[in-house]
Chain A
Amino acid sequence: MRMEDTKKTFDHLLHEMNRVIVGMDEVLKQMVVALLTNSHAVLEGYPGLAKTLSIKTMAQLLSLKFSRIQNTPDLMPSDITGTYIIEETTGGKRSFKFQPGPVFANVVLADEINRATPKTQSALLEAMQEKQVTVGNTTYKLEEPFFVLATQNPIEQEGTYPLPEAQSDRFLFKIRTEYPTFDEEVEIVNRYAEEEKKVALKPVLGRDDLLYLQSLTRQVPIAADIKKYAVSLVHATRQKKDLIEYGASPRASIGLVLAAKGRALLEGRKYVSKQDINMMALPVMRHRIILSFEAERQNLHEDDVIKQMLK
């Protein structure tokens, strides 16, 4: 794939996704950026907002190995990582054989991740950060590319376990799905409430294409001033003591610059603009800050505080 063709490829990918998903353009773009930056993303939204469908659709468009973990409170870590099973050979000899879990895939959909217990959620930590899984005394390397695209319901709902801060930080994006507009909802009804038409999706991107695009993303140049602007935004979360109790870590700075590069490539630009940083600030930082009591008293959300800083 030539560099000039990248924009066409992305346009085609998004077009194919839009055949299934109505609206949610920004959500879909952020998911693609997560892929380009070789990072993980968590989609948060109320039930019925096409979170799972979006990830499944994207997986269909990538000719990669896809697996799905439906998180429940009784899900065990070994259900994710895999376990040793006893296997009997033809000679009657028995031996332990490692049975890989669903995490051994390129694209892992961790559905309703906040319904799993913190112990099970933590089983994903090593896989997400180190891209490897240790079972017993053996460490298994995960195949590249490796993404965890998780979904979760807002933590205010019952029967959910908030993601531990350490794990939350490992997701590059926390993508918020919003309710569709009236016209979009009419279109959704038209598509899914009448005669069932199965949309045939063909893979748009292969493994090699994706790896090439990932390497290309890191090569997108960024001006020193814009880089400083990104870092200053993250740094400001640690200075705004009145509204933010705990600011974002340097991982957020890395993520913000990387995400901006991904967005620039997605838009067909060969440089990062300030607008890219602003657009990526919300999904990169919203799950990395903890608001103070004062912010909660003022009924402010993470997005409100970040938007204040962007002004």
Chain B
Amino acid sequence: MATRPIFAALKEVRSAVTQITLFTSLLDALIVFTLCVLVFILIGLEWWYGLAIALAYGSVHTYRSVKKRQNLAYVEEKVPELSEQLTTVADNTDKDNPIVLSLQEDVLRGMRAIKTSYFLSFGRLTRELITLAVVSILIITASAHGVRFLDVKQTLKDLGELGKGPSGPYELSGEGLEFFENMSEDIYGNKTLAELGNDELQLQLTPMLTDIDIGRTKPPESKEFRSTLPEEIKATTDVSFQESIPKGYQRIVKSYFSEIAKTS
């Protein structure tokens, strides 16, 4: 009984449906991932949070879809010609009578007409691919221009520090203000204000904006500096000055400069 073609056919159909389900689930998870990355870029969170969310979504979605679509009723829904027959055959594989055998032959004939495309919704697939492309473009654009609507980390940090109350660094009490006023007597400012304190400086270089690759460094070149100043310094009239003024006007020019010298 195990060699009946219907067994292989049923297995093949289930396998094809599972593959398509996995593909569509992967696509859905990708969309979720790109959307999460976009949102996290815009609010200043790490992109790999999106990976975690997409993985969780993908796992649940795949499990539920595979479970649902393993039921042959799903295949019958897509292939109305086999409606109720496929399930009946699958549920009666242990029976061996003329009607069951005849039904199995009919179903096998019908299954030959099944195409993988029956289980793919091209409209949905197109929409999903377009969404994926659009979101990807938005991610690239947002990264390139450093677009950020909100820095969630900084906001949370600020909120946290606000919550620390009067003992925090932004104490606006009278004593604090007096302290800062006293310290401002130095014209170069308070040295402590130039310090970063104990906090680490968060510096992010956007690769698209600069060609600098901080990962590629080389040892500094040693340069020798020599004095190039001449030993004697004297001023001379430029030859071109005298040549360019016609002789008839040279006296006028001379007296002009003499008058200027007098007034100054």
- Which A residues fall within an 8 A CB radius of B? 3, 216, 219-226, 270-274
Closest 3 CB pairs of A and B: A221-B92, A270-B103, A271-B88
- Please give the distance in Å from A148's CB to the nearest CB on chain B: 28
Task: Check A219–B88 contact: CB distance below 8 A.
Answer: no
Taken together as a complex, chains A and B put the C-alpha atoms of A270 and B92 apart, in Å, by: 12
Closest to B92 in A: A221
Contact for A270 among B83, B87, B99, CB less than 8 A? B99
Closest to B85 in A: A271
**Which residues of chain B have C-beta atoms less than 8 A from A221's C-beta?**
88-89, 91-92, 95, 99-100, 103
* Total number of residue pairs linking A and B with CB closer than 8 Å: 52
Closest to A225 in B: B87
Task: Check B97–A219 contact: CB distance below 8 A.
Answer: yes
Taken together as a complex, chains A and B put the C-alpha atoms of A160 and B90 apart, in Å, by: 50
Taken together as a complex, chains A and B put the C-alpha atoms of A270 and B95 apart, in Å, by: 13
**Which residues of chain B have C-beta atoms less than 8 A from A216's C-beta?**
98-99
Taken together as a complex, chains A and B put the C-alpha atoms of A3 and B73 apart, in Å, by: 27
Closest to B76 in A: A223
Task: Check A273–B84 contact: CB distance below 8 A.
Answer: yes
Task: Check A222–B88 contact: CB distance below 8 A.
Answer: yes
Taken together as a complex, chains A and B put the C-alpha atoms of A224 and B90 apart, in Å, by: 9
> What is the total number of residues of chain B having a CB less than 8 Å from a CB of chain A?
18
Closest to B96 in A: A219
Any chain A CB within 8 A of the CB of B106? yes
Task: Check A270–B106 contact: CB distance below 8 A.
Answer: yes
Closest to B100 in A: A221
**Which residues of chain B have C-beta atoms less than 8 A from A223's C-beta?**
84, 87-88, 90-92
Task: Check A271–B103 contact: CB distance below 8 A.
Answer: yes
Taken together as a complex, chains A and B put the C-alpha atoms of A271 and B84 apart, in Å, by: 8
- Apart from A3-B99, A222-B92, what 6 extra A-B contacts exist at CB < 8 Å? A219-B99, A221-B91, A225-B73, A226-B88, A270-B99, A273-B84
Closest to A271 in B: B88
Taken together as a complex, chains A and B put the C-alpha atoms of A262 and B235 apart, in Å, by: 127
- Please give the distance in Å from B71's CB to the nearest CB on chain A: 9
Interface hits, B194-229 → A, CB 8 Å: none
Taken together as a complex, chains A and B put the C-alpha atoms of A274 and B73 apart, in Å, by: 13
Contact for B102 among A222, A226, A270, CB less than 8 A? A270
Among A220, A221, A226, A274, chain B packs the most CB atoms within 10 A around the CB of: A221
Interface hits, B52-104 → A, CB 8 Å: 73, 83-85, 87-92, 95, 97-100, 102-103
Contact for A220 among B73, B90, B99, CB less than 8 A? B99
Task: Check B102–A3 contact: CB distance below 8 A.
Answer: yes
- Please give the distance in Å from B32's CB to the nearest CB on chain A: 33
Task: Check A224–B99 contact: CB distance below 8 A.
Answer: no
**Which residues of chain A have C-beta atoms less than 8 A from B99's C-beta?**
3, 216, 219-221, 270
Among B90, B97, B99, B102, chain A packs the most CB atoms within 10 A around the CB of: B99
Taken together as a complex, chains A and B put the C-alpha atoms of A219 and B103 apart, in Å, by: 11
Taken together as a complex, chains A and B put the C-alpha atoms of A200 and B4 apart, in Å, by: 49
**Which residues of chain A have C-beta atoms less than 8 A from B85's C-beta?**
270-271
Task: Check B102–A224 contact: CB distance below 8 A.
Answer: no
Taken together as a complex, chains A and B put the C-alpha atoms of A226 and B72 apart, in Å, by: 13
Among A225, A270, A274, chain B packs the most CB atoms within 10 A around the CB of: A270
